[in-house]
Structure 1
Amino acid sequence: MALRTLTILFLLVFGAATLITGLATYSASSQALERLVDRRIADVSSAVLSQASPGDKASILALIDTFSRQRASGDVGFELEDAAGRRLGGNVTLARPVPMGFSTLHPGDRIAGLSSGRAEMRDAGGGLRLITIIETEPIDGFTRVQWRNYLLGFGSIAAIVLAGTAIFGILVRHRITDVRRTAEAIIDGDMKRRVPRSGDGGVFDAQAAAFNRMLDRIESLLESVRNVSSDVAHDLRTPLARLRGRLQRIAGAPLADDAAIELDAAVEQCDEILAIFAAILRIAELEGNERRKAFARVDLAEIAAGVIAALSPAASESGHVLIHDGLSSVIVDGDGASITQAVFNLVENALRHTPAGTAIIVSAGQATGTATLAVRDHGPGITHADMATALRRFGRINPSRSAPGHGLGLPLVEAVARLHRGALTLANANPGLLAMLNLPLRAEGGPAT
């Protein structure tokens, strides 16, 4: 789940919890106030009726009048009704009948000076009923004050949480951005890049330190593998070259026909092994990214046209048809020699693995921000499952294992693509295979990088 989604979900849950808590607190305080008022109503009603005989209308009205004159009873009202609900007297007049027991009054009841209150109707004996009313808003605008206090209190909490969430989100996003940029630099070939540390000793700093130690270990392992490959290639090339020279000198002497044939085959095998070592060293050189320092303006269309011109005789001899298509000027920043080698490999790969009469089309074009140099053939192609094998070093799919080659052609092209911050993709051409070298397009007027 995305960080933004988690943040929004947290804020929604927090907002709902804050709203529910505020409403519950307001409701609890209102109910507590109502219980206090109800208790006072009960005490006042009992005090009035305890001093009068049950059903004694005159006595009850006199006690109401006496109680109403007291200074502390300014928020208390009375009304005496008969069994039919007719008003017999009191200091207030109700606009609607109220039920027996306790009930709530509102401004709509049109009682002068009353914004909200509670009422109790109880039996006064002899068919009489006494209604006692007390205001539940002790001061003017009490309800508004309550709401204002709750909004300010819970609003402040919500504002603090929102600000804290925003700050936390910024910090987390900053740390994640640091990790992402480091990962992108590593992918781009900068194995020395590390996640920056703040030095505060916090959990993020500890995470950055652990991540950097992991990168140090990975760099060490990759360097060891690279050194082994390069050292083996370097150390074996010299004795193999000497062996090849000796075999050629022997082949130059008078020999039987069978021996001469065997010697020629041995020389060819030496050449193939030397080519493998040369390809390994070439890939290691490309992965070092040192060539980026010498990047310059390169036209893919010119490179493709040069490769077509160079390989057209070989294509004619093998019975293939080499076609150029859409070779408009496509400018990139790059190393012309390595891109040329990559295109040679793609075309030679198509010539080697397709039957005579197959058309091979080379094209150069561009889309938004991307330059593409594509080699498409109409041969048998390869399955989607075999494409990953074809891109692996020394990876050769079963139908091609008997054919010449060492399985380093496409990996070298892929190394060229990575050097240029691009990618090599294989796709089904229906029929045949489509190999696309995708490179970043040179920005208009931009410097070589």
Structure 2
Amino acid sequence: MNGRPNSWHSTTSRLILIYGALFVVWGAVLVGVIQWETTRYLNTVIDQMLQQRMHYIASTDPARLATTVDNAAAIDPHGIMSVGLFDKDHQPVAGNIDHLPTSLLRDGQVHLLRHGLPRPDRDAERVRARGLATTLPNGDILVIAKDISTIDGIGAIIRRALLWGLSLTIIPGLLGGFLLRRGPQKRIRELQEATDPIRQGDLSKRLPVSRRGDELDQLASIVNTMLGEIERLMNEVKGVCDNIAHDLRTPLTRLRARLYRAQQQLDGEPEAALVESCVVDIDEVLTRFRALLRVSELEDRHRVACFDEVDVGQVLRQVHEFYAPVAEDRGQTFDVEIQPLAPVRADAHLLFEALANLVGNAIKFTPTGGKVMLRASMDKRGPRVDVVDSGPGIPAGERDAVTRRFYRGDNSRTTGGSGLGLSIVSAIVRLHGYGLDIADASSSGARLTLYCYTPGPDDKVGTCLSRTVPEVTPMTV
């Protein structure tokens, strides 16, 4: 997980976007309320004006009503305030309304004209209008209407003001938010860089703590305390294991020497076979102790400074030469296929040891007549080495566990070994920052791939860095 986080997925960025969205929504709601209240107020004023005009004209002497209607229409030639008088047959008598609005109720109340009202100054273009109609005592119908398109214009002005206001507010706000989030993002990057060696196994590292005393510093302090306790416990457990292995190795070596001398003295005696089996068992215990101490050395000692350019192909040829006689004695086919490879920065002895352990395990678990293939090729990012065998393979559920100390899978219960071979490989891989992948072979068996480069976040391989490495001699466990 070496990739950097997307800055737009950060909490600061999300808060900026959320606050910006809330501001926009709140502004839209506010403008909507203002527009609605303004429209309601203006409609109320227009309704009162229409009611007053209707009361004034309707109370005119019936003999002078038509003249009054024409005079009212002449005062407003643009038809903003329209007046019309119609007879019982809905024919126009006076005013500037040519047709009786059929949808307008004649109840003396103001209504919105659903089909609008034609404006004489706009080539009879229909505009939104409010009006009222009433039936006079003589059966005539008096209609008064007013153009309310100006209210729509006021609403448009309010909306434009909102748009400009939001633009002049949000753009500087987003710019300010972008600048403000750079500080936390920088802190996060520093923390992530500090955690890289910790994730790679260096528990002596700590997260940086600034003088701000903010939430990130408080969290870093808590994590540092946890790391200190974990480091102490790990060192105690590891020290106990190492001390046991180291302290028992000397008396066991002495015991082996005494048994060996006894075996020589009992040459030809029936007890010689029993003593020989005891020597073999002690050798197995000593081998496990050496492997355990070897893993501890790889995890504790620094050797990165000794890295140099290494020819992976040359190391592979040495491994093949070392194990070819072993495979031949077991009746196995051991082939090697090496393509041109770029050099890598590594410790040649450790790289040989890791590859030797992989090949040794493949030979150990491949039956007689089986095949082991050692193949090297170039990826886009560097060399990769595949060790493929025709053995029983490694079940998917055990692939993460086989690199742990002393783990023995179900397929390895009947074979010799200590369960530390892949632990050594894993420690060397972590030290170099390489990748190790365990999968099924194309036909049968297992395929173990060593990526001689640091895998990226999209590479589906296990990788971590270690801080320790010792002088080594090839040893397969």
Contact 2:128 2:147 (8 Å CA) reproduced? yes
Where does the alignment leave 5 or more consecutive residues of structure 1 unmatched? Answer: 443-448
The aligned residue for residue 68 of structure 2 is 62
Aligned partner of 1:431 among 430, 434, 444: 444
Name whichever of 75-84 and 304-313 sits farther off: 75-84
Counterpart code for 1:224? E
Question: 1:174 and 1:296 mapped to 2: Cα distance?
Answer: 34
Identity %: 26
Name whichever of 99-108 and 420-429 sits farther off: 99-108
The aligned residue for residue 52 of structure 2 is 43
Question: 1:256 and 1:319 mapped to 2: Cα distance?
Answer: 33
Counterpart code for 1:325? E
Aligned partner of 2:354 among 338, 342, 360: 342
The aligned residue for residue 97 of structure 1 is 101
Q: Does 2:423 match 1:415?
A: no
Deviation for aligned residue 1:324: 1.0
How many corresponding residue pairs? Answer: 435
Root-mean-square deviation over aligned CA pairs? 4.0
Deviation for aligned residue 1:417: 1.4
The aligned residue for residue 244 of structure 1 is 256
Question: 2:100 and 2:251 mapped to 1: Cα distance?
Answer: 116
Question: 1:153 and 1:106 mapped to 2: Cα distance?
Answer: 35
Contact 2:42 2:151 (8 Å CA) reproduced? no
Larger RCO (CA under 8 A, 6+ residues apart): 2
The aligned residue for residue 446 of structure 1 is none
The aligned residue for residue 354 of structure 1 is 366
C-alpha distance 26-214 of structure 1, shift in aligned 2 (>3 A): farther
Matches within 5 A, 1:101-140: 101-104=110-113, 109-112=118-121, 117-136=129-148
Counterpart code for 1:152? W
Matched residue SS, 2:39 = helix
Contact 2:434 2:452 (8 Å CA) reproduced? yes
Which TM-score applies when normalising by structure 1?
A: 0.80
The aligned residue for residue 445 of structure 1 is none
Counterpart code for 1:37? I
Matches within 5 A, 1:38-437: 38-49=47-58, 51-53=59-61, 56-59=62-65, 61-62=67-68, 65=71, 76-90=81-95, 92-93=96-97, 97=101, 99-100=104-105, 101-104=110-113, 109-112=118-121, 117-136=129-148, 142-155=154-167, 159=171, 162=174, 177-253=189-265, 257-288=269-300, 290-429=302-441, 430-437=443-450
Which TM-score applies when normalising by structure 2?
A: 0.76
Contact 1:122 1:130 (8 Å CA) reproduced? yes
Contact 2:372 2:387 (8 Å CA) reproduced? yes
Counterpart code for 1:313? P
Where does the alignment leave 5 or more consecutive residues of structure 2 unmatched? Answer: 1-5, 456-466, 468-477
Contact 1:366 1:441 (8 Å CA) reproduced? no
Counterpart code for 1:361? M
Question: 1:319 and 1:109 mapped to 2: Cα distance?
Answer: 105
Deviation for aligned residue 1:415: 1.5
C-alpha distance 171-88 of structure 1, shift in aligned 2 (>3 A): farther
Deviation for aligned residue 1:9: 9.3
Counterpart code for 1:436? T
Matched residue SS, 1:329 = coil
Contact 2:340 2:378 (8 Å CA) reproduced? no
Matched residue SS, 1:238 = helix
The aligned residue for residue 440 of structure 1 is 453
Deviation for aligned residue 1:308: 1.1
C-alpha distance 140-222 of structure 1, shift in aligned 2 (>3 A): closer
